Amino acid sequence: MIQIGCHLSSSKGFLHMGREAVSIGAATFQFFTRNPRGSKAKPIDEKDVAAYLAFARENGIGTIVAHAPYTLNPASADPKVREFARITLADDLKRMEYLPGNVYNFHPGSHVGQGVEKGIEEIAETLNEILWPEQQTTVLLETMAGKGTEIGSRFEELAGIIERVELQNKIGVCLDTCHVYDAGYDIVQNLDGVLEEFDRIIGLKRLKAIHVNDSKNPFQSHKDRHEKIGDGFIGFETLQSVVHHPKLQGRPFCLETPNELDGYAKEIRMLRGMR
Ligand code: FE
Ligand code: FE
Ligand code: ZN
């Protein structure tokens, strides 16, 4: 079965998210590790995590996707901003050990004028400081739309970060359909070609999760505004092809569309092909 799900609020804990996921026909979900703006994280509730792990096993929930706060910037020119990113990412990764074998996705960052190369080096340096050999989480770089000075809108930039990471088996990529389309990868006209390019530059073996979003903006607009499945410029057909693509199976697909639970349930049904 295709491992599809959506972003859920983590405010009521892991067991609650697991129940919500199952209630909408999902087999995975994504959650923010803390407030998306980057405030302090709640302590891990070990009872809740244990109950979730049992529930997930019984209900066939596969790999889940943790998402770092999107305000972190490990590519900043300001050492204080980089330090805050490093401390927060490191703290999240320690907490992720309670949920072994899952993935942790973050936005690589924005170079804010110091240049892509410098930004790439700063991001890789942060990763080399926080990854450790025994960790049970794979850390994912998200493909970005290329808004402002965002790094990671070109596959080459992500490859540049990855090649500088020492612990090669701890690093991967999360492909966001809205972001890559915004960045200028035409998944509508040539999905196979984009996946071939990803494979050539980064390697499909690095691809560990997919964000399935439509886009409010046309091709190459670098805006990063998600739309409901079928209501945007990417369209239902392409997004269904992504979810069913033979080269992408076995990975979690997470919707990050502007929806409540019932809207997500409908999109999951549509994308699975049950109508
Ligand atoms: Fe994201
Ligand atoms: Fe995303
Ligand atoms: Zn986005």
CA of 145, nearest ligand number: 3
The one-letter code for the residue type at 12 is K
H helix intervals, 39-115: 46-59, 79-96
Query: DSSP character for 60?
Result: T
Mean pLDDT score, 93-112: 98
Q: How far is the CA of 107 from the centre of ligand 1 (A)?
A: 6
- Provide, rounded to the nearest whole percent, the portion of the chain with pLDDT above 70: 99
Q: How far is the CA of 211 from the centre of ligand 2 (A)?
A: 5
The reported pLDDT for the residue numbered 7 is: 98
227 pLDDT higher than 70: yes
Q: How far is the CA of 51 from the centre of ligand 1 (A)?
A: 27
Q: How far is the CA of 256 from the centre of ligand 2 (A)?
A: 7
275 pLDDT higher than 80: no
From CA 173, how far away is CA 171, in angstroms rounded? 7
- The CA-to-CA distance between both ends of the chain, in Å, stands at 16
CA of 182, nearest ligand number: 3
Range of weakest confidence among 25-39, 130-144, 161-175, 238-252: 25-39
Q: How far is the CA of 211 from the centre of ligand 3 (A)?
A: 9
Tens of pLDDT, residue by residue over 46-88, are 999 999 999 999 999 999 999 999 999 999 999 999 999 999 9
CA of 224, nearest ligand number: 3
- Assign 3-class secondary structure to 196-212: HHHHHHCCHHHEEEEEE
Confidence label for 274 from pLDDT (cuts 50, 70 and 90): low
Mean pLDDT score, 179-192: 98
222 pLDDT higher than 70: yes
Helix, strand, or coil here: 248? Answer: helix
The environment of the single-atom ion ligand 2, i.e. residues with CB closer than 5 A, is 176, 211
Evaluate whether 245 touches 195 at the Cβ level (below 8 Å): yes
For 220-237, give the DSSP string.
Answer: T-----EE-TTSSSS-HH
Distance, CA of 190 to chain centre: 22
Q: How far is the CA of 108 from the centre of ligand 1 (A)?
A: 10
Cross-strand pairs, 210? 175, 253
State how beta strands 214-215 and 207-212 pair. Answer: unpaired
- Provide, rounded to the nearest whole percent, the portion of the chain with pLDDT above 90: 96
Q: What is the mean pLDDT of the chain?
A: 97
Q: How far is the CA of 67 from the centre of ligand 1 (A)?
A: 7
From CA 266, how far away is CA 50, in angstroms rounded? 30
Evaluate whether 140 touches 208 at the Cβ level (below 8 Å): yes
What the block records as the tokens of 138 is: 């794979």
The pTM for the full model equals 0.97
Q: How far is the CA of 56 from the centre of ligand 1 (A)?
A: 24
Q: How far is the CA of 227 from the centre of ligand 3 (A)?
A: 10
